[in-house]
Amino acid sequence: MPTTTEAGEKDPAAAADGRGGPRRRWRSSVLPRHLSLAVLGLLAVTVVMETTGSFANSQLASMAYLGIAAGGLTVLTGLNGQLSLGHGAFMAVGAYTTALFLDGEPPALPLPVVLAAATLVTLLVGAVVGVAAARLHGPYIAGATLALAVAVPGVVLHFERLGGEQGLGVRMPETPVWVLDAAYFVTGSELDPTKYVAYIGWAALVVTYVLLANLMRGRVGRTWRAVRDDEVAAEIAGIHLGRARVLAFVVSTACAGLAGAVMAMAVRITAPSGFSLTLSLTLLSAVVLGGLGSLTGALIGSALLTFLPHLVTGLGTDAGLTDVRAAELAPAVYGLTMILVILVAPAGITGTLRNLWRRRRGVA
């Protein structure tokens, strides 16, 4: 399926070929490059985290889980051309799994294992849905995942163990002493629980993005793009279409599961209302705004989702709207921008900037 939304993940490859460097050298230099970017990113996050207050820390935590989920979605939609309106539902799976595993004093499993378990459970659910969805196309897969997004809150209500409308409280385990000590040693300040969760979120994000970036640049990513661009040609080239689609779906839902786990810890409660259709659609708007198929775009998109609401809601209340109504301004902005992006700049923010940059340098 051709998409006009191409945020140019092919460009580094093209640039590398243009430099005439042997392909192998470029390939082997990818991982170190991603790793050093990751370390730089973590440093930047640490600096920001330590210089801002508790409220900003919690915002950063939400940006982390939105970013993880958006990263997974952008791989699915941008690279493989499948649209999921059900990622909110997959986040719910991850979040509820986390809540259940952390229930108990002390929790049965250490935190990293809980995160991994939440990811794994969601991955399994994603595999089941993915196998079915792999056979569907454009509007059909959109409709099916939309149905999923609407169905999951009802399923949650059906099982009493999941706490009904009120949902489950999430018990955050005590921060391990060695973590507190290490944090104090590095930053010179106490690590409060909010900040702890934010750090976990960003660590999870960085790990996810490094893995995704490597996947995208490698053989798997090329397979996905081939399937997206021309199914027939991909099949002739020996690509198993169904397998490629299911793999993309599974990778993407695993990200959603991890995002849900971080969300559960950050929000401290998992309730059906937190995983409404709105969440799924908002995630989609994030990846469209940022530029489909680009991890940078997904990160920018999730930053907008995190910080824009405060800004525009403030403007709304200043203009005389009640809080509740002003809160709707942010989604109005997302919706409108989504429409404008499709009509005017299908490459999203990252793609458009890149095109402008290239035009200025006269490369394109």
Partner 1 sequence: MQQLLTTALGGLTLGAVYAAFALALCLIWRSTRIVNFAQAPMAMITTYIALVIIDAGHSYWTGFAAALVSGLLLGAVVERVVVRPVEGKAEINAVILTLGLFILIHAVAGIVFGSRYRSFPAPFGVRGLTVGDTPVALTGFGVFTVLAVMVVMGLLVLLFRYTEVGLMMRAAAFNQEVARVLGVKVGRMLTLGWALAALVGSLSGLLIAGGSLVHPAYMDSVVVYGFVAAVLGGLDSPVGSVIGGMLLGLSLSAVSGYLGSELVPLAALVILMAVLLLRPGGLFSHHAERRV
Q: Which residues bind partner 1 (CB under 8 A)?
A: 1-5, 77, 81, 83, 85, 132, 135-140, 142-144, 146-148, 150-151, 153-155, 157-158, 276-278, 281-282, 284-285, 288, 316, 321-322, 324-332, 334-339, 341-343, 346
| Residue whose CB is less far from partner 1, 12 or 335 | 335
CA contacts within 13 A on the Cβ side of 128: 7
Least Cβ distance, residue 137 to partner 1 (angstroms):
5
CA 109 – CA 157 distance, rounded (Å): 26
Residue 29, Cβ neighbours under 10 Å: how many? 12
| Residue whose CB is less far from partner 1, 138 or 314 | 138
| Residue whose CB is less far from partner 1, 201 or 290 | 290
| Residue whose CB is less far from partner 1, 180 or 277 | 277
DSSP secondary structure code for residue 176 in this structure = P
Least Cβ distance, residue 314 to partner 1 (angstroms):
15
Task: Quote the Cα angle for 61-64-69, to 5°.
Answer: 135
Q: Please report the DSSP string for 155-175 in residue order.
A: HHHH-GGGTGGG-EE--PPPP
What residue spans of the chain are helical by DSSP H?
11-19, 23-51, 54-74, 80, 87-102, 111-133, 138-158, 177-187, 193-217, 219-229, 231-236, 241-267, 277-290, 295-318, 323-326, 329-344, 348-361
Least Cβ distance, residue 193 to partner 1 (angstroms):
32
And the tokens for 318?
A: 């200043």
| Residue whose CB is less far from partner 1, 51 or 322 | 322
Least Cβ distance, residue 212 to partner 1 (angstroms):
20
Decide: helix, strand or coil at residue 2. coil
Least Cβ distance, residue 345 to partner 1 (angstroms):
12
| Residue whose CB is less far from partner 1, 56 or 345 | 345
Instruction: Compute CA 354 distance to the chain's CA centroid, rounded to the nearest angstrom.
Output: 22
Least Cβ distance, residue 270 to partner 1 (angstroms):
17
